[in-house]
Amino acid sequence: MLSIGYVLKRLLQIIPTLVFIVVVTFLIVRLLPGDPASAILGDKATDAEVARLHAEMGLDRPLIVQFGNFALRVVQGDLGTSTAVKLPVGRIVLDRLPATLLLTVMAAFLALLLAVPLAFVAALRQGRLGDTVIQGCFQVGLSMPVFYVGLILLTVFAAGLRWFPVGGYGDTYLLHLYHLFLPALTLALSLAAVLMRNLRTAILDALTADYADFARAKGLPTRVVLFRHVLRNALISTVTLFGLNIGTLLGGAVITETVFAIPGAGRLMIDSIYARDYPTIQGLTLVLAVLVSVAFLLTDLVQASLDPRVAQ
Amino acid sequence: MRYRWSALIALVAAMHVGTAAAVERGGVMTFGRYADSLFLDPASTEVNVDIWILSNLYDTLILPSDDGKGLQPGLATSWSFSGDNKTLTLKLRDGIKFSDGSPITSADAKWSLDRTRNPDTGAWASLYESIDSIAAPDPSTVVINLKHPDPALLPVLTAFASAVMPSKLIEATAGATLADKVKAFAEHPVGSGPFKLQSWKHDAEMKLVPNPYYWRMGEDGKPLPYLDGVTFEVIPDDATRILRLKSGELDASEFIPYARVEELKNDSSLNMELFPSTRIEYVALNVRPELDGKPNPLANPKLREALNYATDKDAIVGIVTHGVGTPMTSFMSTATPLHVGDKPLYPVDVDKAKQIMHEAGLDKGVKVTLMTLAGNEDEVGIATALQQMWKEIGVDLEIQQIDNATRTAAYRAGTFPSRLSLWTDDIADPSEITSWALYYPAVQSFHTGWKNDKAVEIFQASQKEMDPAKRQEEYKQLQEIFNSEGPTVPLYETPYPVALAKRVQGFNQLPLGNNLFAQAWLKK
C-alpha cells in the first residue's frame, strides 16, 4: 500500500534535520552566558584551575576547530566524554535512554487506552451526562501540572494504599514495568485529555459525514459503521496529534523522572545543562532528535496507510 | 600524661554509651540523596556530592574528631613536628590494608599527597602550598618537609583530598595518562576507608559494602563498620524523598527543605536531625570606587554600615529558613574552629541606619543592584525581603536574576555590584574562609576589592603561628576587624537537616558536610 519511494523520501528528509539540530545544539550551548569552566568549578576555583579545565575541554581552540572535532567524532559514532562524570557519553546515553523510552511508550499506550474508548463514549453520548463527566474529568487533568498529578498519585497509590513503590526504577524488566506504571499514568493523563477531545470531535464529524449516512443506509450494522468507516477517518487527525505530542511526552518525562526518581534521559539532560556538560548535552540532543524524527516518520507512515492521499 | 587522661575519659565514655545502648550489627542502611556523586576522586573533585561521601571509601592519615573540630588518629597512629616546626613525621598503623587486602604503606601516602598537592592533578593544591617535599624513609614512616611552619597542616591532612589511595594499583591501571588511569580506576576503586564500592548505577543507586580489612574497632571490639552495607538512592525531588522515608522505603533522607523540618520533628517514627554545619549565607558588596565606569555607591563604608543596620536578620531567618537557621555572630560559622562571638552582628536598628544615611549625606537615597540566582527560592526570598527592608532607609534595591555561570564570571572578574553568597568550609580550620574574606592577595576579599592592611598583616602572621593561644588571639582580632568593617551583610548560618528513621543510630554528619556511616547501626 505504501510505496518504497515514499518511505525513502521521508528517510532522506531526516538527514538535513539532524545536521541542522547538531549545528544548532553545538552553537546554543556555547551561547549560554558565563564561562563553562568557571561554571563547573564554582566560586572557589582559582584562575589556574579554570584555565586548566578550559584546555581540558578544548574550549581554548577556535569554534570552527571545536566543531570540526565534534562532527568528525560523531560521524565515527563517538559522542565524546562527559566532563561531569568522566564516562563516555555514548555509554551514559545508552544507559539512561531505556528508562525514558519505556516510560514514553507506556505513557503513549496508556493514553490511547484511555482516550479511544472514552472518546467514543463521549461522542456517542454527546451532551448527555457521560459526555459531561468524561470531558469534565479530562479538563481537570489537563489543567493540573504534571508534577502535581505525579505527587498526588504517589501519595495516594504508593505511600497510602501501597499498591506501587514510591518512585525508583527496579532491577528487572517486570519490576521496571511495575515501577513505571504510576509515572506513565501521570504522563498519559495529560496526553489522553488532548487526544480524547480531538478524537471526540473527529468522531462527531465522521458520524454526520455523508459516507457514514451512506454506510448506514446500506444496512451495515452500527459496529461495522463505527469501526470501519467512522474510526478510520476520525483517527487521521488524532494520529497526527499523537505524533506531534511525542516530543511533548519526552519533555514531560523530564519532570516525571524527577518526581518519581527514575534515572532516565530527561533528568540526564537537566543535570548536564546545569553542569554545563557540553559533550553530554550535544550527544543526548542528537540521539533524542533521531528518536523524535523516527517517531515522526512512523506517524507519517501510519497516516499514509490510513489515508493514501497523504503519500501522494 | 594528658593523653592518658583523655584515653581514660574516652574509655569511661565508651563504657557509658555501651551500657546505654549496645550496638547491633547487620542490616543495610538506605540513604536518600538529593543528587548523585559525579566522580569519586579525592584529588580532583570539586563538588560536595563527591566530597561528602568520600571519607567512607578512603581514610586519611589523621581523621577528624567526631565533632569535626579536632583530630584523632587515622591510618597514622602518631605524629610530631620537629623543633623548628618545619618537619612533620607521621607513623603508620601496623598491619593496615586496602580493601583488596594489599598493605597500605608510606609510599601510598606520599604518592597520594603528591598528586593532591600538584596543581596539575589536584584541585585543592593551594591548601597544601606550605609542603616542600614528602619522603617515605621506611614503609611505616611519612615525613613532610615544609617551606614554613603551617598551623593548618594537621586539619588539612584530615580533609577528603588527603585520602590515601593504592598507588601501585592505580599506576598499573590501563590508560595513556595518569588522568586516564584515575578515570579507569574510579570505576572499580580500591580504598582505605570503612566501606568499598560494590556497584553504582549513575543517578539511581550506589551500593557500599564493608571493607573486610578495615582497621578501626567498634564498641563491641570487632572491626567497623557495624552495617552490612549502605545503599544510596538518588531522589532529586524533595517531596518524593520525604514520602519514601515516611513509607519506610528509606532509613534516611538528606536535605530536608526548611519548610518541612517542623513537620518531620513532630513525626514519631523519625528523628529529625539538625547537624551543626559551616554553611553561611551573606551579601557580598563590591566596594571598588567605580563599576562600569560609573561611581559605585557601595564604595562608601557608611552606606554599607547603614545596610547592615537596616537588615532584620531574624525576619529573614524566619521567612527563608522557617526558623531553622540562626543569625551570624561572626563572618565565619560558629562550627568553624577559632570562631569568636556570641551576639548576632548588627542587630536591626532602622533609626540608627537612617541616622547613618543622614550623616553620610545620602538622604536623597541611592540605588543598589543585587545579583541573585534565577529560580533559586531561598535567594529570591532573601532578595525581596532586603528590598523591602532597605527601602525604609531610602535604598532602592534592584534585583537582578541571572544564572550561576554568569554570576560566577562577574564575581571572579570583580564586576558584580553585590550578590548573595553561600559558603561552606572544606577544612576544619578557619584559615580557608579567612583567606577568602580578608586576605586581599588571595581573592581580593570575597572578590569585593575591600582591603585592610592590618588584617592582611595579622593573617600573614597567623599562617605561621604555631602557638595555639597566640593564633587564637590573632583570629579574635581578625574577626573584630572584619565584623566591624567588612564588605558584607552577614545573614544567617544553617545546620544540615537530615531525617532518620528511629532505628538508625550512630550516623554522623560533620560540620564540613561529610556523611559518616562507619559507626552507624540499625536497631532491630
Examine residue B508 and state whether it is found in any structural domain, yes or no: no
C-alpha cell at B478: 581578625
Q: Are residues B370 and B473 in the same domain?
A: yes
**CATH number (domain holding residue B286):** 3.10.105.10
CA distance B186 to chain A (A): 10
C-alpha cell at A95: 544507559
- B202:A263 CB<8 A: yes
The domain tally of chain B equals 2
Examine residue B89 and state whether it is found in any structural domain, yes or no: yes
Q: Are residues B154 and B281 in the same domain?
A: no
Does pLDDT of A74 surpass 60?
Answer: yes
- A167:B403 CB<8 A: no
Domains belonging to chain A, first-starting first, are 4-75 (no CATH), 91-307 (1.10.3720.10)
Q: Can you spell out the DSSP letters for B249-276?
A: S-SEE----GGGHHHHHT-TTEEEEEEE
Q: What is the pTM assigned to this prediction?
A: 0.86
Q: Which residues are registered as beta bridge partners of B367?
A: B396
A34, A43, A92: residue with CB nearest B202: A92
Q: Are residues B321 and B464 in the same domain?
A: yes
Using a CB–CB cut-off of 8 Å, the residues of B that contact A are 35, 38-39, 46-47, 119-120, 123, 126, 183, 186-187, 201-204, 233-237, 239-241, 243-244, 246-247, 249, 402-409, 411-412, 421, 426, 436
Q: Are residues B301 and B428 in the same domain?
A: yes
Answer yes or no: are the C-beta atoms of B478 and B457 closer than 8 Å.
no
CB < 8 Å to B35, chain A? 271
Give pLDDT, residue A158: 87
Most confident of A115-129, A285-299, B476-490: B476-490
C-alpha angle A16-A21-A22 in degrees, rounded to nearest 5: 100
CB < 8 Å to B405, chain A? 32-36, 38-39, 276
**CATH number (domain holding residue B165):** 3.90.76.10
Quote the longest CA-to-CA distance of chain B. Answer: 73
| Domain final residue pick, B164, B184, B204 | B184
Q: Are residues B166 and B311 in the same domain?
A: no
Give pLDDT, residue B260: 94
ipTM of the predicted structure? 0.80
Q: Are residues B152 and B42 in the same domain?
A: yes
Examine residue B196 and state whether it is found in any structural domain, yes or no: no
What is the rounded distance in angstroms from the CA atom of residue B322 to the CA atom of residue B258? 6
Give pLDDT, residue B8: 44
Helical pair B440-447 and B431-438, crossing angle rounded to 10 deg = 70
Q: Are residues B414 and B300 in the same domain?
A: yes
CB < 8 Å to B159, chain A? none
Q: Are residues B286 and B165 in the same domain?
A: no
- A166:B236 CB<8 A: no
Lowest model confidence (mean pLDDT) among A85-89, A186-190, A211-215, B245-249: A211-215
Mutate which: A30, A41, A86, vs B, most B CBs within 10 A: A86
Q: Which residue has the cell 563553562?
A: A36
Give pLDDT, residue B105: 97
Examine residue B513 and state whether it is found in any structural domain, yes or no: no
Query: Per-residue pLDDT for chain B (524 aa), expressed as one digit of tens each?
Result: 344 444 444 444 444 444 456 899 999 999 999 999 999 999 999 889 999 999 999 999 999 998 888 999 999 999 999 999 999 999 999 999 999 999 999 999 999 999 999 988 998 998 999 999 999 999 999 999 999 999 999 999 999 999 999 999 999 999 999 999 999 999 899 999 999 999 999 999 999 999 999 999 999 999 999 999 999 999 998 999 999 999 999 999 999 999 999 999 999 999 999 999 999 999 999 999 999 899 999 999 999 999 999 999 999 999 999 999 999 999 999 999 999 999 999 999 999 999 999 999 998 999 999 999 988 888 999 999 999 999 999 999 999 998 887 888 889 889 999 999 999 999 999 999 999 999 999 899 999 999 999 999 999 999 999 999 999 999 999 999 999 999 999 999 999 999 999 999 999 999 999 999 999 999 98
| Domain final residue pick, B134, B158, B184 | B184
Select from A195, A168, A183 the least CA-distant residue to A103. Answer: A183
Q: Can you spell out the DSSP letters for B120-154?
A: TT-TTGGGGTTEEEEEEEETTEEEEEESS--TTHH
B120, B234, B409: residue with CB nearest A35: B409
Does pLDDT of A2 surpass 90?
Answer: no
Give pLDDT, residue B50: 94
Q: Are residues B333 and B436 in the same domain?
A: yes
- A86:B404 CB<8 A: no
Mutate which: B408, B415, B432, B447, vs A, most A CBs within 10 A: B408
Chain-centroid distance, C-alpha B446 = 17
Select from A193, A204, A184 the least CA-distant residue to A136. Answer: A193
pLDDT in tens, A151-166: 888 888 988 888 988 8
Examine residue B122 and state whether it is found in any structural domain, yes or no: yes
What is the rounded distance in angstroms from the CA atom of residue B52 to the CA atom of residue B37? 9
Select from A289, A278, A295, A299 the least CA-distant residue to A18. Answer: A289
Examine residue B291 and state whether it is found in any structural domain, yes or no: yes
Contact residues, A window 78-107, toward B, CB-based 8 Å cutoff: 84-87, 92, 95-96
pLDDT in tens, A168-201: 888 888 899 999 999 999 999 888 888 888 888 8
pLDDT in tens, A240-270: 888 888 778 887 888 889 889 899 998 899 8
Average pLDDT score over residue span A229-240: 82
C-alpha cell at B496: 544540615
Give pLDDT, residue A85: 87
Query: In chain A, which residue's Cα lies nearest the Cα of B45?
Result: A41
Give the domain range for residue B423. Answer: 277-495
Give pLDDT, residue A312: 63
Average pLDDT score over residue span A81-99: 90
C-alpha cell at A166: 514510591
CA distance B203 to chain A (A): 5
| Domain final residue pick, B153, B184, B215 | B184
Examine residue B320 and state whether it is found in any structural domain, yes or no: yes
Give pLDDT, residue B199: 95
Examine residue B503 and state whether it is found in any structural domain, yes or no: no
Select from B74, B112, B68 the least CA-distant residue to B90. Answer: B74
